[in-house]
Chains A and B, each alone.
Chain A
Amino acid sequence: MFTEETLGHVRKGGKEWDKEVQETFRQKPERKERFSTVSDLEIKRIYTPEDIKDLDFAGDIGYPGMFPFTRGCQPTMYRGREWTMRMFSGLGSAEDTNKRWHLLLKEGETGLSTAFDFPTLMGYDTDSPRALGECGKCGVAIDTLRDLQILTDRIPLDDVTTSMTINPPASILWAMYLVVAEKSGVSWDKIGGTIQNDMLKEFIAQKTFMLPPEPSVKLISDTIEFGTEYVPKWNTVSISGYHIREAGSTAVQELAFTLADGIAYVQDVIERKKLDVDSFAPRLSFFFNSHLDFFEEVAKFRAARRMWAKIMRDRFKARDPRSWWMRFHAQTAGCSLTAQQPYSNVVRTATEALAAVLGGMQSLHTNSLDETLALPSEFAATIALRTQQIICDEIGVTNTIDPLAGSYFVEALTNQIEEQAWEYINKIDDMGGMIAAIDKGFPQMEIAKAAYHYQQQIDKGEKVVVGVNKYVVEEEAPPEILKISDELGEEQIGRLNEVKRTRDNRSVIRKLNDLRAASKTDKNLMPYVIAVVKEYGTEQEICDVWREVFGEYRDPGFY
């Protein structure tokens, strides 16, 4: 990047500056002995051309929309099209959530994103004893096609894309969405959206798991294969670092474990389905956390794109440039928000969102100020959406692409994060890949260590959390929060019973038997799931078949 002459000047200037620093130290020391990121990467006093002297513009930075995609995955980025403002929402019943969706669309959000309640996430119907007390509490309750029809009422499926944060039962919820589209006359090649469908990170971090890793990955490959053939605009997997980070990982761990998960999926589809990598890779999508440490996050996003491009081109020999790009959704860090002085959370979310914008994401969720207290109120969700709109339209950061490129610090940090992430990926490769690493508890324990370390730093005051360990106030009035009624479960069970009464039960049993038989073979299970869903078979009826055929995964309880 620089001539020897320039570097000579840099070094000479650096020596003079160092004397100035020593002089200053005689008067006063720095505020801290060690400056580090939220992930505890040590940060130097200053960065200069010396720190990026080996950087190659074409090979390491380049242009957006081109290899290595460091600067973004589209040639014009936000100048061409705003990112999708996609607020993760789901509360109570399908009616409640539909109402919230329409409100957010009216206020200017441009994509939908579904939060499900725990029974739905874990493959249980509302009437299961395991669902006790959970109905609608942390998202919307969906048992059958009927609920999804209500959820998507008056939503133009050929115009709005819908993301669904669902993992073990992902194929079931996707099947419901496909059937709803079909019934409303929208063909499958017209609909777009995402199912999260990333099981490996469930074992590592989010912990909504059902089946053991092997069959879990097989079901994912089924959806990738099915989507490639019939639903070409759908993202059938969203390879997610978000939850890894929320569980307490560092930025490097988030990046490395996510990419290692991605490698495992690509490998499985190639080996199991014998698909050409370029036939499905362009639709792989990603999901990252945008945490508090501004530059660390920007560097992480830039490193992520560059690494994935190398993985796809060099490791998997993909030839289509669209297989090399990494498109990703970002969400601000829920775990960075505080229950104390919750209005301060608006500021945290705004700066985290700004990092995601400068990091070049494709869609963004911004958390609400009250999320450490309850599900977002309308008031809080609207402010969170406004935060994105202000960043997009008012403050000028979308005028040019990747404005932080070339910063000595940002480029050096991008390199540093990439190097450390490769070390993890190599280690996981040596263990035999991500499934083997998960069996050993490797990523789980690495995250647990990082989470504990961070908590200790907070307790010692080495890391500041305003309102928690600094600038604490005694009394404060909490904002008004959303409450989900405990009676909701009964109403939902009422609807479920009515569906079971009015459907053709013999046909449901027949379709479930077909699914059971197919589950014992290598067949793609999507058509069988769709067949059950069409007959108003419930989510749990399908999941019970799988639990019976594949067995259940139990939490090994590492800490």
Chain B
Amino acid sequence: MNFRKKLRILVAKPGLDGHDRGARIIARAYSDAGFEVVYTGLHQTPEQIVAAALQEDVDLIGLSCLSGAHMTLFKRVIELLKKDGAEDITVVGGGIIPEEDIHKLKRMGVKEIFLPGTSLDSILDWTRSNVKPRA
């Protein structure tokens, strides 16, 4: 039986991208909605992000990238999670991500991509219905 009701969420900024407005707003929205939130801060390598996710025992990783490096960086996070046997951690992404990349990222294992203009409520709703606490 799982006594932990609150989802734990890691909001992460991979790579050298400095655009953190979205990530910080999402972190705050999750936190205000009662989720437990860890924000990595900027300039994290995929290795640092996966290490933080395991250490903090999170159920969801939200990756934010607006620099165009999402294909390389998101893929690397997914690979590292698999390598560590933690592929049951849900991974979602947001940022400046072209349509054709969304399909590729989803095939890679990213569960959902949130584009500019997405409302906070719709992200919270998606999270409540699609992410369950890890066993």
Contacts and interface: CB of A to CB of B under 8 A. Distances in A.
A319 interface: no
B116 A338 contact: yes
A246 B21 contact: yes
Interface in A521-559: 554-559
Interface residues of B, number: 38
A465 B115 CA distance: 15
Given A246-B21, A557-B39, A557-B41, A118 B119 contact: no
Contact of B18 (A129, A208, A465, A559): A208
B119 A121 contact: no
Given A118-B16, A455-B25, A555-B41, A137 B120 contact: no
Nearest to B26: A559
A2 interface: no
A372 B19 CA distance: 13
A129 B48 CA distance: 13
- Chain A contact patch, size range: 35 or more
Contacts of A448: 24-25, 28
B7 interface: no
Interface stretch (A142-150, A305-313, A383-391, A478-486): A478-486
B130 interface: no
Question: Is chain A's interface secondary structure helix, strand, loop, or mixed overall?
Answer: loop
Nearest to B17: A118
Interface string B89-132: 00000001011000000000000000111011100000000000
Nearest to B27: A559
Contacts of A246: 21
A339 interface: yes
B68 A451 contact: no
Interface string A191-222: 00000000000100011100000000000000
A340 interface: yes
A42 B43 CA distance: 38
B42 interface: yes
A130 B21 contact: no
Contacts of A478: 99
Interface string A438-463: 00000000001001100110110000
A54 B64 CA distance: 49
Given A137-B67, A455-B120, A121 B24 contact: no
Contact of A118 (B20, B69, B72, B115): B69
Q: Which residue, B15, B16, B120, has most C-beta atoms of chain A within 10 A?
A: B16
Contacts of B117: 338-340, 465, 467-468
A118 B17 CA distance: 6
Given A137-B69, A202-B18, A247-B20, 9 more contacts: A130-B45, A206-B18, A208-B16, A339-B115, A455-B25, A456-B120, A486-B71, A555-B42, A557-B39
Nearest first, the 5 A-B pairs at minimum CB distance are A133-B72, A557-B41, A207-B18, A137-B68, A555-B41
Interface of A: 118-119, 121-122, 124, 129-134, 137-138, 202, 206-208, 246-248, 335, 338-340, 372-375, 448, 451-452, 455-456, 458-459, 465, 467-469, 478, 481, 483-484, 486, 554-559
Interface of B: 11, 15-21, 23-25, 27-29, 31, 39-43, 45, 66-69, 71-73, 76, 96, 98-99, 115-117, 119-121
